[in-house]
Chain A
Amino acid sequence: MNYDKRSLLSGIKAFIAETGDMAYFAGRFFREVFKRPFEFKEFLRQCYNIGNRSFLLVGITGFIIGLVFTLQSRPKMVELGADAWIPSMIALAIIREIGPLFTALISAGRIGSAIGAELGSMRVTEQIDAMEVSGTNPFKYLVVTRILASTLMIPVLVILSNFLALYGSFLVEYLKGEVSFRFYFDEVFRAVKYTDLIPSTIKTFFFGFAIGLVGCYNGYYCKHGTAGVGIAANTAVVKTSLMLFIIDFVVALITDILFLS
């Protein structure tokens, strides 16, 4: 991990090799996810860990983002005489971009690092080996369940956080603009179209997959003893965040091409 000691070339080589390795890891996930037996109990446990346990953090963050975003943009909008546009503008921004990306980034910090650290320490303390000796495929038991849970739970978190963000935004409008709940959400749903909701919802599945994948990959192949666990958790967050932006960009590109709007 001593990047400074490596030349740029070998750094790039290592990056490409790791990308390939991660792609192989993802491929293995898709092969094993359909193989029986499916570790359903562990999957539910991970869903609970990733979904319910992150909800408070993600929900509060979402709420505050909606609140602050509205508070910040409101004065300028009023100045421009565009205060009627606030609900639709905020709604579009939250549903298309801010909601999914912020939730995913926070989840990367919370879930990605947790998975990285958990699997990393399991690797280092030979728990993964012990699992294999016990006749359980650790990839299926640990990786498949976590990636799947993350893929399915992040979208749910995003939806909930979007609504909380919109609610936060509504509160500002309610207190400052004396706008009713009904009116605010009427405006919101008037502005949002299926072409906004659907791509951004699909996007969140990719976000969830990326968070699970990178977290598991870094944890599962953790090396260098106890210190490696920290590195695994840290790299998981950094790489996931980077990957989230790349996915976001690609999805935006594809959406633009598909729904030429």
Chain B
Amino acid sequence: MIQKSVQKNVVISIRNLNKKFGNHQVLEGFNLDLYEDESLVIMGKSGTGKSVMLKCLIGLERFDQGSISVMGRNMEKLSSEDLSYIRSEVGFLFQGSALYDSMTVRENLEFPLRRHKIKFGHIKNTTPLIQEALESVGLQHTLDLMPDELSGGMKRRVALARTLILRPKIILYDEPTTGLDPITSKEIVFLIKSVQQKFQTSSIIITHDVDSARHLADRMILLINGKNYAEGTFDELDHSDDPRIMAFFKS
């Protein structure tokens, strides 16, 4: 499962990231490098700022200090065109799928195409793109269903299809398996893996789930107290004798 990571281009680079919510210092000098085609898993307890970090990456959250560079662009001084470009190149799979309740699956998938047309030019017929995206998550038949009518796992898949429809180079997964039963979780994990291979994407995956991490991680970062506490492959960390690291893997 573990691939030796060959030194490649850095696509995301975070340096000394600080973020405070009120009096609560969530991130304190966090560093990260994501290489091309790499699958990076970040583990940490709840409320340690993992999601916040992801949102900072995509410009949904402001950070207090530090620097973030995504695909060579500095997130601090970003024109709206650049932000739009980054958002079309960096997909984001939200924690609870975040499908639009009031829209059908088709409309959900069409939604990113409405404004990110730059990437595809002006396309009249979105159906082939939608079909293709749905096929890659195995849900072609759900086109006209409402999100309500889908199970949790299906929602996750549709959400992934919605992310994929823009053909991003990087996908950020915010706890892709939370709230799912173990079997569905496993399905999603394998789906992520297949997507990574099929679309040649780099990924940052946030998770609590050791199993998911084992399957997905080329490299791992343990986030404790707002810093990267430990970094390494899954095996390296799994065999660590640091009690704080062991606490993650022996649960």
- Interface residues of chain A, those whose CB is within 8 Å of chain B, are 118, 121-122, 125-127, 129-136
Instruction: Give which listed residue, A125, A135, A136, contacts B98 with CB less than 8 A.
Output: A125
Beyond A126-B94, A127-B99, A133-B60, 11 additional contacts (C-beta under 8 Å) are A122-B100, A125-B98, A129-B55, A129-B94, A131-B100, A133-B87, A134-B87, A134-B114, A135-B88, A135-B115, A135-B116
Q: Cβ of B87 and Cβ of A135 under 8 Å apart?
A: yes
Does chain A have a CB within 8 A of B152? no
**Whole-angstrom distance from the CB of A41 to the nearest CB of chain B?**
10
Q: Cβ of A126 and Cβ of B111 under 8 Å apart?
A: no
**Whole-angstrom distance from the CB of B176 to the nearest CB of chain A?**
13
Q: Chain A: interface secondary structure? A: helix
Contact with A along B91-120 (1 / 0, CB 8 A): 010111111111000000001101110000
Q: Cβ of A133 and Cβ of B99 under 8 Å apart?
A: no
Does chain A have a CB within 8 A of B136? no
23 pairs of residues in contact across A and B, judged by CB atoms under 8 Å: A121-B101, A122-B101, A125-B94, A125-B98, A126-B94, A126-B98, A129-B55, A129-B60, A129-B92, A129-B94, A129-B98, A130-B98, A132-B60, A133-B58, A133-B60, A133-B92, A134-B111, A134-B112, A134-B114, A134-B116, A134-B162, A135-B87, A135-B114
The complex places the Cα of A62 from the Cα of B114 at a distance, in Å, of 41
In the complex, chain B residues whose CB is within 8 Å of the CB of A126: 94-96, 98
- Interface residues of chain B, those whose CB is within 8 Å of chain A, are 55, 58, 60, 84, 87-88, 92, 94-102, 111-112, 114-116, 162
**Whole-angstrom distance from the CB of B21 to the nearest CB of chain A?**
12
In the complex, chain B residues whose CB is within 8 Å of the CB of A136: 111, 114-115
In the complex, chain B residues whose CB is within 8 Å of the CB of A134: 87, 111-112, 114-116, 162
The complex places the Cα of A127 from the Cα of B100 at a distance, in Å, of 6
Chain B residue nearest to A37 (CB atoms) is B115
User: Which of A122, A133, A135: most chain B Cβ within 10 A?
Assistant: A133
Chain A residue nearest to B55 (CB atoms) is A129
From known contacts A121-B101, A122-B101, A126-B98, infer whether A131 and B111 are also in contact, taking CB-CB under 8 Å. Answer: yes
**Whole-angstrom distance from the CB of A103 to the nearest CB of chain B?**
25
Chain A residue nearest to B60 (CB atoms) is A129
In the complex, chain B residues whose CB is within 8 Å of the CB of A135: 84, 87-88, 112, 114-116
The complex places the Cα of A131 from the Cα of B55 at a distance, in Å, of 13
The complex places the Cα of A135 from the Cα of B59 at a distance, in Å, of 12
The complex places the Cα of A129 from the Cα of B102 at a distance, in Å, of 16
Per CB-CB distance, the 5 closest pairs between chain A and chain B, nearest first, are: A135-B115, A134-B112, A130-B98, A126-B98, A126-B94
The complex places the Cα of A134 from the Cα of B88 at a distance, in Å, of 7
The complex places the Cα of A133 from the Cα of B98 at a distance, in Å, of 11
Chain A residue nearest to B99 (CB atoms) is A127
Chain A residue nearest to B111 (CB atoms) is A134
The complex places the Cα of A114 from the Cα of B111 at a distance, in Å, of 23
In the complex, chain A residues whose CB is within 8 Å of the CB of B100: 122, 127, 130-131
In the complex, chain B residues whose CB is within 8 Å of the CB of A127: 98-101
In the complex, chain A residues whose CB is within 8 Å of the CB of B162: 130, 134
In the complex, chain A residues whose CB is within 8 Å of the CB of B60: 129, 132-133
User: Which of B58, B84, B100: most chain A Cβ within 10 A?
Assistant: B100
In the complex, chain B residues whose CB is within 8 Å of the CB of A121: 101
Chain A residue nearest to B174 (CB atoms) is A126
**Whole-angstrom distance from the CB of A140 to the nearest CB of chain B?**
10
In the complex, chain A residues whose CB is within 8 Å of the CB of B114: 134-136
In the complex, chain B residues whose CB is within 8 Å of the CB of A129: 55, 60, 92, 94, 98
Chain B residue nearest to A129 (CB atoms) is B60
The complex places the Cα of A122 from the Cα of B99 at a distance, in Å, of 9
